[in-house]
Amino acid sequence: MCIISGSFPRGNFIWDEALFTSDKFVICRMKWRAQNMSKESLKSNEDEGLNFEINIEQCVQAQIIHLSSESEHQEIKRPGAFSNGKRTNSKLVYPIIYIGNQESKSPLVLGIVMTGLCGRSVIFGYSLLELNVEIQREITKLLEFEGFPTTSTFGKPMNWEAKTVVDVLLEYKKALILLPNDVLFTRENGWERLIEDVKTGVRSTNRTAVNKLGRMALKSEKQRSAYKQISKELF
């Protein structure tokens, strides 16, 4: 669920069947009555309307496509270059999933890890003030604890970049870098079990492997095997 192949024009996840949406926050596994209903309306009308369930994988996929497209639009470059000066044409990304205090029936993709050369990567995603207010408050408390200033000299809220947001959430097990083996785990055990196992330390956030290895994080036996299984479903 975190390997982009080349099917879409702007860098996309490994799944070709995707839910296309322009919304930042995609509400999944809920019965929809209308496309643009608020979260509150969705909750109050959960037992009404259409039985329309969106697969969690499609939900994550849609957000990855949005972020990948936006990163290309902003001309974000993957780190590193070959001896001839050319950069990698890799489309590989790992989604970074929020698993903090704000509960939701659908996963929120905070950003993507865009792998470069020699284990180097760059994070592209939402800055602090681009997230909803509840998540902003949660992250701000963590940043304050770590000694980060939360307001500027002019008294305005600091809009910390995506990398800082992701780093502090990973530090406190409130985010997860999703790898192929995690996808197979959720299929077997459910999304909630994955979140619980990460929060309790039973499963890794994958932070260290991705930070140190980049694309090579997929070379471990369990990740390689999971990747092959997912790939066979598509090609």
What is the edge-to-edge ordering of all strands in the sheet holding 93-98? 121-125, 108-115, 93-98, 175-177
- How do residues 20-50 score in pLDDT, each as one tens digit? 222 333 333 332 333 334 444 444 444 433 2
Contact call for residues 112 and 123 (beta carbons, < 8 A): yes
The pLDDT, as a whole number, for residue 21 is: 28
Residues 6+ apart with CB under 8 A from 25: 39, 106, 108, 132
DSSP lists the bridge partners of residue 175 as: 98
Residues 6+ apart with CB under 8 A from 10: 65, 68, 69, 72, 73
How many C-beta atoms lie closer than 10 Å to residue 183's C-beta? 22
The list of the chain residues with pLDDT below 50 reads 1-54
In the chain, domain spans: 39-234
The pLDDT, as a whole number, for residue 141 is: 97
Closest C-alpha among 105, 2, 138, 139 to residue 63: 2
Model confidence pTM above 0.85: no
113 — phi, psi (to 5°)?
Answer: -95, 115
d(CA 168, CA 53): 32
Alpha-carbon dihedral sign for residues 18, 19, 24, 27:
negative
The pLDDT, as a whole number, for residue 47 is: 40
Contact call for residues 11 and 95 (beta carbons, < 8 A): no
d(CA 206, CA 23): 27
- How do residues 180-197 score in pLDDT, each as one tens digit? 999 999 999 999 999 999
The pLDDT, as a whole number, for residue 117 is: 84
The pLDDT, as a whole number, for residue 15 is: 30
Contact call for residues 59 and 98 (beta carbons, < 8 A): no
DSSP lists the bridge partners of residue 94 as: 113
The pLDDT, as a whole number, for residue 235 is: 61
d(CA 95, CA 78): 15
CA 188 to chain centre: 20
